[in-house]
Amino acid sequence: MAKKWVYLFGELDQAQKYVGGDWQNALGLLGGKGANLAEMTRIGLPVPPGLTVTSEACNAYLANGNKFPEGMWDQELEALHTIEGLAGKKFGDSANPLLVSCRSGAKFSMPGMMDTVLNIGLTDATVEGLAKLTENPRFAWDAYRRLIQGFGAVVLDIPDEAFEEALDAAKKQAGAKEDVDLTAGQLKALAGEYRKIVQKHKGFDFPQNPLEQLSLATEAVFRSWNGRKAVSYRRHEEIPDNLGTAVNIVTMVFGNMGSTSGTGVAFTRNPSTGEKGVWGEYLINAQGEDVVAGIRTPKKVATMADELPEAYKQFLEICAILEKHYKNMQDIEFTIERGRLWMLQTRNGKRTSAAEIKIAVDMVGENLIDRKTALTRVTPAQVNTLLHPQFDANAKKAAQAAGKFLAKGVNASPGAAVGQVYFDADLCEAKAKEGQAVIMVRPFTKPDDVHGMIAAKGILTSEGGATSHAAVVARQFGKPCVVGASSMRIDFDARKLTSNGVVVKEGEWISVDGATGEAFVGQIPTVAAKFEEQKDLVTLLQWADGVAAEPGARSGPAGYPSRGLMVWANADYPSDARRARNFGAQGIGLCRTEHMFFEQSRLPIVQRMILAKTSEERTEALNELLPFQRSDFDGLFEAMTGLPVIIRLIDPPLHEFLPDEEALQEEVTTMKVLGKTEGLAEKETVLAAVKGLHESNPMMGLRGIRLSIVMPEIVQMQVRALFEAACDVAARGFDPHPEVMIPLTGTVKELEYIQPKLEVIAKQVMQEKGRQLDYKFGTMIEIPRAAVTAGEIARLAVFFSFGTNDLTQMTYGYSRDDAERNFLLKYVEEGILPFNPFQTIDRDGVGRLMDICIQEGRKSRPGLEVGICGEHGGDPNSIEWCHLIGNNYVSCSPFRVPVARLAAAQAAIKHAPKK
Ligand code: PEP
Ligand code: MG
pLDDT, tens digit (0-9, with 9 covering 90-100), for 687-696: 998 898 899 8
The CA 596 to ligand 2 mean position distance, Å, reads: 17
Q: What is the predicted pLDDT for the residue at 686?
A: 86
At 476, the pLDDT band (50, 70, 90 cuts) reads low
The CA 805 to ligand 1 mean position distance, Å, reads: 5
DSSP 878-902: HHHHHHHHT-SEEEE-GGGHHHHHH
Mean pLDDT of 600-615: 89
At 2, the pLDDT band (50, 70, 90 cuts) reads confident
Please give the Cα distance from 745 to 133 (Å, whole number): 88
pTM: 0.83
User: 521-524: long-range contacts (C-beta < 8 A, 24 or more apart)?
Assistant: 521/399, 521/404, 521/406, 522/399, 522/404, 523/418, 524/391, 524/392, 524/395, 524/396, 524/399, 524/416, 524/418
HEC string of 398-421?
HHHHCCCEEEECEEEECCEEEEEE
Residue 572 CB–ligand 1 contact under 6 Å: no
Q: What is the predicted pLDDT for the residue at 813?
A: 96
Q: What is the predicted pLDDT for the residue at 467?
A: 64
Q: What is the predicted pLDDT for the residue at 516?
A: 85
Q: Whose CA is nearest to atom 6 of ligand 1?
A: 803
Question: Phi first, then psi: what are they for 369, rounded to 5°?
Answer: -135, 165
For residues 506 and 436, the answer to whether their CB atoms sit within 8 Å is no
The CA 603 to ligand 1 mean position distance, Å, reads: 21
**pLDDT tens-digit profile of 629-646?**
999 999 999 999 999 999
Q: What is the predicted pLDDT for the residue at 575?
A: 92
Residue 122 CB–ligand 1 contact under 6 Å: no
**pLDDT tens-digit profile of 868-899?**
999 999 999 999 999 999 999 999 999 999 99
Over 60: is that where the pLDDT of 293 sits? no
Residue 651 CB–ligand 1 contact under 6 Å: yes
| Helix/strand/coil for 22 | coil
Residue 592 CB–ligand 1 contact under 6 Å: yes
| Helix/strand/coil for 9 | helix
At 555, the pLDDT band (50, 70, 90 cuts) reads confident
Q: What is the predicted pLDDT for the residue at 543?
A: 98
Over 80: is that where the pLDDT of 166 sits? yes
Question: Phi first, then psi: what are they for 287, rounded to 5°?
Answer: -100, 160
Q: Whose CA is nearest to atom 10 of ligand 1?
A: 806
* Active-site residue, selected from the candidate residues 469, 655, 737, 872: 469
- Report the nearest atom of ligand 1 relative to the CA of 472: 8
For residues 50 and 250, the answer to whether their CB atoms sit within 8 Å is yes
Q: Is 864 exposed, middle or buried (0-12, 13-18, 19+ CB in 10 A)?
A: buried
Least confident of 175-179, 416-420, 433-437, 671-675: 175-179
Mean pLDDT of 704-727: 96
**pLDDT tens-digit profile of 777-827?**
999 999 999 999 999 999 999 999 999 999 999 999 999 988 988 899 889
Q: What is the predicted pLDDT for the residue at 289?
A: 67
Over 60: is that where the pLDDT of 295 sits? no
Spatial CB neighbours of 342, under 8 Å, sequence gap ≥ 6: 46, 47, 48, 253, 334, 335, 336
- Bridge partners (DSSP) of residue 779 are 742, 800
Over 90: is that where the pLDDT of 842 sits? yes
Mean pLDDT of 143-147: 94
Count of helices and strands (H, E) across the chain:
38, 33
Please give the Cα distance from 690 to 693 (Å, whole number): 5
Q: What percent of the chain has pLDDT over 90?
A: 75
The CA 594 to ligand 1 mean position distance, Å, reads: 12
DSSP state of 908: H
